[in-house]
Structure formats: C-alpha cells, structure tokens
Structure 1
Amino acid sequence: MKDFSQHDEEKDQELSELLQRYEDFRGGRGGSYIEEEAFEKIIEHFEAQEQFLKALQAVEIATEQFPYSASLLIKKADLLLNRRKYEQALTLLEQASIFDNNNIDIYILKTEAFLALDRQEEAVELLKEALEFFEGEDKIELLFELADVYDDYEDFEKVFDCLKEILQQEPDNEEALYKICFWTDYTGRNAESIELHKKIIDETPYNELAWFNLGAAFQGLKLYEKAIDAYQYALVIDEKMDYAYRNIGDAYIRLRKYKDAIEYLEKVLELSKPEDVIYEAIGFCYEKMKNYALARFYYRKASHLNPDISYLAYKIAYTYYKEEKYEMCVKQLDTALKLKRNKPEYSILMGDCKMQLGFTKEAIQYFSNVVRLKPKSAVGWEALIKCLYDAEYYDEASKQIDNALTMTKNKPIFIYYRALIQFAQGKKKQALIYLEEALISDPGQFKRFYKSIPPYFNINKWQILS
C-alpha cells in the first residue's frame, strides 16, 4: 500500500505535468489538447495560490475552447465578481443558466452580484424563485443565503423565519441551531422558539443544542425554573457544555439563589478559559450573600482580565461601603475616579463616604459634580440637597431645590424637601403648606422620602409631622 507522502508526490507530479501542458497550449507549442476537467483543475490551482489574474487568464482560454460549458462560465463569473465586475458576471451567469439552469452556484453568485449592486429586492426574489426548484441540501443552502441577505439589510424577523424553516426541514442542522438561539433573543420571538424546539426534541430527543435553545427561550420569557430544567437535560447529553452552566448560573442569580449560581459559575471556570464576566458574577453573588471579602476577591480576579478596572474598583469600593469601612471605600473610589472622572455613580458614592466621615464640604463638591454630569436625574439633586440640609446650608439648599424642580420637571420629592427646609428654618406654617402640596402631588413618596433620610440627619426635626 502506498503511503500518503508517495500519493501526494504523485499528485504534485500530475499537477506539474498539467501546468506544463497548459503553458505549451497557451504558447501554441506541441499541439496539446486540454480537457474541460483539466482546465478546471488548473483554474482551481491558481485560485488556491491566490494568483487570480492567472486564473482569469486560464478561464478565458478555457471558455474559448468550451463556450457551452456552464461550469466554466460560472468560474469565470466568480473571478469577475472578485474583481468587482458585477454586470459582466451577471451576463455570464445568464449564459450559464441557459446551459444548466439547475446549478445552485448560479443563484448564489447572482445574489452576490445583486447585493454588491445594492439590488437587494432582486436578490430576495431570485432566491425565493430558486427555493421552488431545489430540494434537500441545496434548498437548505439557499435558505441560509436568503437569511444572510435579510441580515445584511436588517430585516431581522425574516432572518428568524429562514432559520425556522431550515430547522423544520432539517431539525439537527447545527449551524441553524446555533444561529436561531441568537436571533430568538434579538427578535424576542421566544414563544415561537419554544414551540419549534419542543418539536425538534420530540424528533431528536438527544439533541443538546435543541435543549439549550429551549432553555434560552424560557429564560427570555423569565421562566427561569423551566430554563434550568432544559439546560439540565442539555448537560445530561453533553456534560461539558459550558454555556449551559453559564446560563444556569445567570438563571439562579435572577431567582436570587446565589449559592446555586456560584456552583454553576465555578463549573464554567473549570471548563473554559477564565473570563472577567464570570468572576464578576461570582463576586456579585457573594456580595448579595453579604460575604464582602469573597466578593472583593472575585472582583479583583475580574479586574486582572478586564480593561475597565475603574468599574471593578467601584464594585470593590461598594463592598467596603456596605461594611462601613469608609476610608477603604474612599481609597478604591480614588482609583476609579482617576481613571474615569465623569461617572456619576462614582461621585455619588464618594459623596456618601465623605458625609459618613464628616467631610461635608467635600461631599457637596462630589454631589455637585453629579448634578453637573446628569442634570435631569433626580438622584444627584436629592443627594446634594440632603447634604446641604445636613450642613445647615438652608439658603443654598433652597436654591438647589429650585434648580432641581426646574431640571426634573417638578418631581414631587423636591416639594417634600422644600417642606423640610422650611421647617428647619423655623417656618412651620409654610412647611406644612409645602408638605400638603407634596402629599397631594404624590402621597406615595412620603414613606420613601422619610425612610431615605440617613441616620446622620436630625430626624427629630420631623416630630411636627407626627
């Protein structure tokens, strides 16, 4: 038996002889005759070597010898498409269709030319027409081509329709199964996806991708328990499907089952390359479980892989804040703010820390920065006004309440604050008038407002309201 190297040597020898025959033929030497199939091999060789001019020259000679060869005309059209000669390519493809109208490459190359010429509607009509004539694998290929056309022109609902039709014809088509998972999430057609994948599972119950897609569709509808069940079936079939572990972890986070989420997220780290999002998710779980030391441990691991370390420094800072370790929180926030000064959430947390540490004027500066960055957000204005109230800068607080009401389109919460400031200034009757106005505007805000006043504010000032 010949070994592979000997076989390769023989193929190389045959190709060299064929190329020499071609050169002789092209030069008019020796009266050589080259068969149509041999021309195709020569053209394919030049294409493989990326010698496209030589390939085009060879196909020109070949079509002169075999003017009625559909396959050679198709090859020539393909080479012309690469040179952006779209109209010439279309003319050749029309000729080729006369000789062989059942060649799928004619339709695919015509589609490419139409798209290059921005004739999307013609590309769609051509492919729809072709779908009437082809069956089996050819029809599947055309449906994928049609899906790509719809994708290019952002008709995403029809991309989903094409993939759905593919799976109805070929339930175990891996490419379609992978793609439809993305497009289900993108288009929000989760209910259809559930129905489709249940049918696929009925036909091919050991199809792990179908089980995974079913889980993803349930997850898209926030049916997390059902999603977990579907992912578990996928893992029974393929225990190394890391994306199933990842999605189960996410589902458990949504269910606030943080310990279970950690178990599955750690499995992702065992099966795949470490990712910052997984470390961050585990850190988030520990944070929710109030294990702030471990939360920081995983946030720091994430920071080694994530270029946006400012965000993770903020996450670490927040764990210190929850532990009332305000000096450590400030240190982490300093790092975050050096990298990204214009992040309102960084400044608002820093302002809170400064308040807790008794640095009221510094806190005011940070809260002022928040309202500068997000003037239409009530959060920054509320923090600033609370801070001014605590510092007993009542006149300034009143001015900022006016600004807040203007910028937030008269949110009732600031009318409550106006009442508070009036009372602090000893204007009890005016305070009650504003309080009544606030209660009429939004009575539900009072409870939140009262609870939102931090312990370092003088709550006794509210005794008039009891």
Structure 2
Amino acid sequence: MQLSNEEEDYNLSLSKFESMLKTNKVLFFDSEEFEEIILHYIDMGKAALAKKALKLALDQHPKSTGLKLVQVEMLVYDDKLEIAEKLLNELYAIEPTNEEIYIQKANICSKRDQHEKAVEQLKIALKFTDDYADVYNLIGMEYLFMDNLELAKESFIKCLEEDFEDQSALYNVVYCFEFLDQNQEAITYLNKYIDKNPYSEIAWHQLGRLHYGVKEYENAIRAFDYATLIDDEFLGAFMEKAKAHERLKKYAEAIESYERTIELDDATSYALLRIGKCHEKLGNKALALKYFNKTVHEDPLLDKGWIAITDFYVRQKNYQKALFYVNKALAIDNQNRLYWKRFASINKQLNFYEEAEFGYRKAVEFGDYQLDTWLFWVDILQFLGEFESAIQTLLQASEYFPEENEIEYRLAGLYFMIQDNTKAKFHLSNAMRLNFDNYIIIEDLFPVVWTKKMVQNYIAKHKKL
C-alpha cells in the first residue's frame, strides 16, 4: 500500500527521533514534528518517552504555544491540575483566541467533576475553532457525565452534521436514543443519516440492532445484509443477522450466518451452541449433538453448553446421560435455580426421589418461586412420607400464591393424613371456594383420604351450596 507524503514524513520523524535517543546526538526537529512525536508516545501509552520528547522539544522551542499546550495535556493526564491551570492562564494572556486553551480548561474542569463549567469552556472554544465536530463531541461527553442524555444526543448529532464519518459520535447518538427509550426515533434518525451516507456499515449495523430491539426482524436482516455487503468481514453484523434469522425460525439461514462468523474468527462457544440449537430445531439430531459437544470442547466452563446437552438427552428421554451432563453444569454454577430444577426433574424421571427432593429444595433456595416447582417438591415430600415438611413447604408457597386452589387441596389432604381434621376442613373449604371442580386432586394424590366418608360428605355438602 502506497503511503501518503504526510505518513512518510511522520514515520521519518519518528525514526529520526528514536535514532537520536540511541546515539545521544541532539538533532533538530520543528515544533510540529515534536508535537506529533509526543502525541504518538502518549497514544501508545509510553509516558516516559513522551516526557523525554517534550523536554527536548521545549529546549529547542521554548516559546512554542503548541508544545506548551501538549505540556498542559500531559500535566492534566498526571493530575497536576494546578500547574496545568497556571500554564494555561499564561498562554491565555498571549493567545486568547486559541481554541485549544479552552478545550484544556474544559478538560481540567471535567477532571474536577465540574462538568457544567467544562461545557461553558467548550462553548467558548466553538467561537474560535475550525474543528466544530471535535468540540461538539467533547460537549456531548460532558453531558453524558452529567446524565443529561437529551442534550448529549443533540451535541453528538451536531458533531455528525459537521463530520458524518465520526464513528464514536454515531455510536454515542444511538446509545442516547436507546437510553432514552426512543428506539423508533433512533430508526428514523439513522435512516436519514444513511440517506446521506449510504456506505456506512456502522450505521446499517446499528439500524439492524434497533429493528431487532423492537422485534422487526425482517427489517433487521435487511440492515445487517447491507452492513455485510459493505464490509464482508463484519463479524458483529453476521452474528446479529444469525440471531434475527433464528427469531424468524429460519434456522438454515441462521446456521449459514453463524458459520460465517466462525470463518472470520476462531470459533466461539456461543456460535457453536447456537448452530447446535438450530440443527436441533431442523431435526438434525446428530449434527446438533456434534455442535453441543464442540461447544463444551471449546469452552469447558460454559455451563450453557452442558445444559444444552442435558436438554437434548431429556428430549430423547435418555435420563441417565441427561443426569451426567446436568451435574457438569452444576459443577460450574451450583447456584442456578434452573439447573437445580432440571436436576430434580431428571432424578424424578429416574425414580431417585430423595435426589429429586433435594434438587427442588435447592431450586427454591436460589429463587425459583414458580408454582409448579413448589408443587413438584411437595408431591415428592408426600411420596417420601414427610408430611410435616410438605405442609411447611406449602405454607411457605402460599405466601407467594395466597389464592391457589392446588396448594389448598394439598394442604387439606396432608392435614387429613396427620389427623388434623380442623385444619384439613379449613383448607378443603378454601380450595373448593377457589375451584370446586379440582377436588379430584384429593382423589389422585390422597386416595386414602378420598375413601373417608367424612371427606366425601364434606365435599357433597359443599357441592349443594
């Protein structure tokens, strides 16, 4: 690739300076060359070399305003704000129309969390600058620090009006729109932006993301297609396009896009997992399992991979293998309520009731308060003959579901089992009030209770009411 004259000069200056450092010979550089060299080292994070270059620069050009402003920038970076401020005041007395003085004053204010003052300084800089885009971008950042997203958005839009290729400003505009929950407004803005700048793959990608966020998946795919046409190595756009295809149940197209991400970069466990799930949806069971296994091979600590294999074997009713893999997931994340629920239901299928009871107990302990979890747990406690524990569990569940007939019927049945007829009748009455037809729960779960004449009479009496 042919280098421009400016790039060649820049590289020559840098080589010349580094050669000077090695030989200890003092060579002459003009002040602008020094500025570029110093800023290069700052950008590279080589503070010691930047300071060495600055010292040599000021020795050769002691009156250079540009170099002194670079010195201010370095002082601010080192949190030497008072010294930087004093130097800025001296420069202001010499060049009151230099916009960089106001930008650095704003930088100092920002460092002190005086963001409103920083904006004031930047607005003065606007009067003297030729680079409006940069100043508007800085103003936008200050408004972000103040959590004023509306004014931040306006500033970033002004920045893009001056320089439509400023990608950081484009990302920030979209961020502001999304934070303000203005997704449709963001879509409208990006469509106008794209009319003026149709080859911006970033804009197309962001437009696709926004359409995806409001569930307009066809429009999202169209936008991602444009992004990948402009940049056929845009990994993020291919990944997002795959997800949109999945939402539309276009699994073959989703697989194609996920596979493209793997061609562009090393296979990610996420892409492999999604390909596996798509193959399973298409009925390609062998391929699904192959990709699930690739997922855990790629990232053995990805619990979602082990769970995908668990669910695969559950659907095949191969509970022994499912149990093996759910234990792998729990070894990685043993506080995940969804994993414990799977553990419990698999053990239940294998008639390992004590393990199943433990699983449901852990699921609830880690925040699974779904009604079915409570009921599965209680039914197993009852099966194990732990009636008191089952009652206590149901009473706990009733705090979350105070008007649930399935809880009340079970409480009635259990109280009858332990001969506490007063409480049993109270809960049976409650249950029938909530849903009379569900009294069959007593017959199904408590056949011994169902055969009692007292219970039959009580239900019959309620029926007449």
Structure 1 portions without partners, runs of 5+? 23-33, 451-455
Which of 410, 429, 432 is residue 433 of structure 1 equivalent to?
429
**Given the alignment of the two structures, is residue 300 of structure 1 paired with residue 293 of structure 2, yes or no?**
yes
1:356 offset after TM fit, Å? Answer: 0.9
Secondary structure, in 3 states, of the residue corresponding to 1:274? coil
* Equivalent residue, structure 2, for 1:96: 91
Give CA-to-partner distance per residue, 1:349-370, whole Å, 9 cap, x none. 1111111111222211221222
2:262 and 2:113 map into 1 onto residues whose CA distance is 45
Which of 79, 82, 87 is residue 87 of structure 1 equivalent to?
82
Which of 296, 316, 334 is residue 341 of structure 1 equivalent to?
334
Give CA-to-partner distance per residue, 1:356-408, whole Å, 9 cap, x none. 111222211221222233275545423312323455655543332112223x2
Aligned 8 A contact 1:197 1:214 in 2: yes
**Given the alignment of the two structures, is residue 192 of structure 1 paired with residue 185 of structure 2, yes or no?**
yes
Cα 1:171–1:437 shift into 2, 3 Å: farther
Amino acid at match of 1:422: A
Cα 1:126–1:337 shift into 2, 3 Å: same
**Given the alignment of the two structures, is residue 388 of structure 1 paired with residue 388 of structure 2, yes or no?**
no
1:94 offset after TM fit, Å? Answer: 2.6
Secondary structure, in 3 states, of the residue corresponding to 1:283? helix
CA RMSD of aligned residues (A): 4.2
* Equivalent residue, structure 2, for 1:123: 118
* Equivalent residue, structure 1, for 2:244: 251
Per mean C-alpha deviation after superposition, the further-off stretch among 393-402 and 117-126 is: 393-402
TM (norm. structure 1) is: 0.77
2:362 and 2:321 map into 1 onto residues whose CA distance is 22
* Equivalent residue, structure 2, for 1:161: 154
**Given the alignment of the two structures, is residue 419 of structure 1 paired with residue 419 of structure 2, yes or no?**
no
Secondary structure, in 3 states, of the residue corresponding to 1:273? coil
* Equivalent residue, structure 2, for 1:27: none
Structure 2 portions without partners, runs of 5+? 1-7, 451-455
Which of 198, 205, 213 is residue 212 of structure 1 equivalent to?
205
Give CA-to-partner distance per residue, 1:112-171, whole Å, 9 cap, x none. 222222322211221133234434xx1111122223334445544544333322223333
1:332 offset after TM fit, Å? Answer: 0.8
Aligned 8 A contact 1:259 1:285 in 2: yes
1:11 offset after TM fit, Å? Answer: 7.8
2:287 and 2:17 map into 1 onto residues whose CA distance is 66
Counterparts of 1:447-466 in structure 2 under 5 Å?
Answer: none
1:310 offset after TM fit, Å? Answer: 3.0
* Equivalent residue, structure 2, for 1:230: 223
1:313 offset after TM fit, Å? Answer: 1.3
1:280 and 1:201 map into 2 onto residues whose CA distance is 34
Counterparts of 1:284-433 in structure 2 under 5 Å?
Answer: 284-306=277-299, 308-374=301-367, 378=371, 380-391=373-384, 393-406=386-399, 408=400, 410-413=401-404, 415-420=405-410, 422=412, 433=429
2:329 and 2:15 map into 1 onto residues whose CA distance is 63
1:209 and 1:234 map into 2 onto residues whose CA distance is 7
Amino acid at match of 1:199: K
1:321 and 1:359 map into 2 onto residues whose CA distance is 16
Which of 247, 250, 273 is residue 280 of structure 1 equivalent to?
273
Aligned 8 A contact 2:75 2:81 in 1: yes
Give CA-to-partner distance per residue, 1:101-121, whole Å, 9 cap, x none. 443432332222222223222
1:160 and 1:292 map into 2 onto residues whose CA distance is 48
2:207 and 2:333 map into 1 onto residues whose CA distance is 40
2:37 and 2:250 map into 1 onto residues whose CA distance is 59
Cα 1:204–1:403 shift into 2, 3 Å: closer
Cα 1:210–1:113 shift into 2, 3 Å: same
Counterparts of 1:45-60 in structure 2 under 5 Å?
Answer: 48=41, 50-51=48-49, 54-55=52-53, 57-58=55-56
1:278 offset after TM fit, Å? Answer: 1.3
2:378 and 2:200 map into 1 onto residues whose CA distance is 59
Aligned 8 A contact 1:389 1:421 in 2: no
Amino acid at match of 2:322: C
1:75 and 1:226 map into 2 onto residues whose CA distance is 47
Aligned 8 A contact 1:265 1:282 in 2: yes
Aligned 8 A contact 1:416 1:438 in 2: no
1:243 and 1:43 map into 2 onto residues whose CA distance is 36
* Equivalent residue, structure 2, for 1:134: 129
Secondary structure, in 3 states, of the residue corresponding to 1:412? coil
Cα 1:382–1:328 shift into 2, 3 Å: same
How many residue pairs are counted as aligned between the two chains?
A: 431
1:303 and 1:185 map into 2 onto residues whose CA distance is 34
